[in-house]
């Protein structure tokens, strides 16, 4: 028996018509609504463009901020380095200041020590003669040549006595000679000395002036110095205008031996001493060997 031919159709013509009609309706609706959707999209696009523009501007600002930050970091590093150098320099300056202060303190201490030593070593100066002594024997030349320097001698003795105080004690010896015999004139009895208060200074000056009437012929310096060594004085001041009558070297050696460094012996040349080299040598050597100083008081006849 022959089989019957069967065909299976999923869609019928009516279904196709329905789909076509629906498609046409969709297209028609899209054509109607398309302008509306386009109008809605334009503001959104504009806003996107604005946001993109703002984003680009913010990116530029961010880049500028990054550049500024980098510059600030560079400046900060430079400032930190300078601050470190400044701190180092400050520490060095502080150390230098401490060293300078230490040197200043040391100098001040040395200065104080020198001043103390100076005060201890020099009580005052007589005619520029520095001395620690507080008691003196003034040994005054009364030879005939001294008549020419009478006023100069007065002034010199006054200058010696002026800085003295009551604690200072003085004896005055005048010396001259006739023939071969030395003559010694004493203000006070042997062994005695007077304080140099105002009244004592006046008496000393009057006695020194009284010697002017007793000038002799010779200059027995040796005998006068031996007499001066007998007094309890700390220093001897010899005032003369000429060389001694005896050998100066013998006098220097003998007086230095007798003194043995116990007393200062200062010497003062009176008058035109620069023209008498022998006298200057004698007086300067005698003073030097007995812890004293030599000076001259200039004057002409």
163: tokens are 């800085």
8 Å CB contact between 149 and 242: no
195: tokens are 């304080």
Calculate helix-pair angle for 248-259, 221-228, nearest 10 degrees. 10
Quick count: other Cβ atoms within 10 Å of Cβ 52?
A: 10
Find all residues with CB under 8 Å of 286, minimum gap 6, and list them.
Answer: 238, 251, 252, 255, 256, 265, 267, 292
pLDDT at 170: 96
Beta strand 169-178 with 181-186 is: antiparallel
CA–CA gap between residue 203 and residue 200 (Å, rounded): 5
pLDDT at 34: 61
pLDDT at 127: 77
Q: How far is CA 227 from CA 86, 251, 294, in A?
A: 77, 13, 20
pTM (2 d.p.): 0.60
Q: In the chain, which stretches have pLDDT less than 50?
A: 8, 11, 121-122
Beta strand 235-240 with 135-141 is: parallel
Burial of 3 (0-12, 13-18, 19+ CB in 10 A): exposed
pLDDT at 234: 94
Find all residues with CB under 8 Å of 235, minimum gap 6, and list them.
Answer: 131, 133, 135, 136, 137, 263, 264, 265, 266, 292
């Amino acid at each position: 028996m022959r089989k019957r031919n069967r065909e299976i159709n999923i869609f019928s013509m009516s279904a196709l018509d329905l789909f076509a009609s629906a498609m046409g309706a969709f297209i028609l609706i899209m054509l109607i609504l398309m302008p509306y959707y386009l109008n809605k999209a334009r503001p959104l696009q504009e806003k996107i463009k604005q946001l993109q523009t703002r984003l680009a501007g913010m990116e530029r600002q961010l880049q500028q901020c990054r550049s500024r930050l980098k510059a600030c970091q560079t400046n900060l590093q430079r400032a930190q380095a300078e601050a470190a150098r400044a701190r180092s320099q400050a520490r060095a300056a502080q150390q230098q200041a401490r060293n300078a202060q230490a040197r200043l303190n040391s100098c001040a201490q040395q200065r104080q020590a020198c001043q103390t030593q100076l005060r201890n070593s020099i009580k005052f100066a007589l005619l520029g003669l520095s001395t620690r002594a507080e008691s003196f024997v003034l040994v005054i030349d009364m030879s005939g040549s001294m008549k020419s320097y009478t006023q100069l001698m007065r002034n010199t003795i006054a200058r010696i006595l002026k800085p003295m105080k009551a604690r200072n004690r003085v004896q005055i010896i005048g010396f001259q000679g006739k023939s071969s015999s030395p003559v010694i004139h004493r203000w006070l009895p042997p062994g005695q000395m007077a304080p140099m208060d105002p009244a004592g200074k006046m008496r000393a000056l009057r006695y020194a002036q009284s010697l002017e009437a007793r000038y002799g012929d010779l200059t027995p310096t040796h005998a006068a110095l031996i007499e001066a060594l007998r007094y309890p004085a700390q220093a001897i001041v010899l005032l003369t205008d000429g060389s001694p009558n005896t050998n100066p070297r013998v006098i220097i050696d003998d007086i230095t031996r007798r003194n043995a460094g116990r007393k200062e012996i200062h010497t003062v040349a009176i008058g035109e001493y620069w023209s008498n080299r022998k006298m200057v040598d004698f007086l300067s050597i005698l003073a030097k060997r007995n812890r004293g100083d030599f000076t001259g008081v200039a004057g002409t006849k």
